[in-house]
Amino acid sequence: MTTLQDISIINLPVVEDARGNLAYIQTGILPFDFKRVYYLFDVPSTAFRGGHSHSEQLEFLIALSGSFEVVLDDGKNKKTILLNKPNVGLLIPRQIWRELQNFSSGSVCLVLASDVFDENDYIRDYNVFLESKK
């Protein structure tokens, strides 16, 4: 069973240069090959995103710009992680409930997902999520 202990922070490799830094993601950096990339932007500071879990999909979140909080829940414990650096990402394993909140002005959340969009992989009802953890 997946727990909050399975969540990890991954520091991306950075090429430092006086002209500006470059962070990158390539094969071998993440524990999965990503099949979908999407990003959230222009999210009002009072809005919440996420509010779901995935049965099988893994996701890696990065604050490309600005900051936001990710509230993680394994059905027994909750943890909040602040993402605010473009070279640090959060690996969310399957079967972890997530909610994104407190977006700063101009923030951009980049998500790399282990699979293409499949509505059947989403658990969008928190009570159904809790039942799936039993």
67's CB contacts (< 8 A; 6+ apart) are: 82, 83, 84, 102, 103, 104, 107
C-alpha–C-alpha distance, residues 60 and 75, integer Å:
20
52 as an active site residue: the answer is yes
Check 52, 85, 94, 133 and give the catalytic one.
52
Q: What count of other Cβ atoms lies within 10 Å of the Cβ of residue 92?
A: 26
Which residues are part of the catalytic machinery? 52
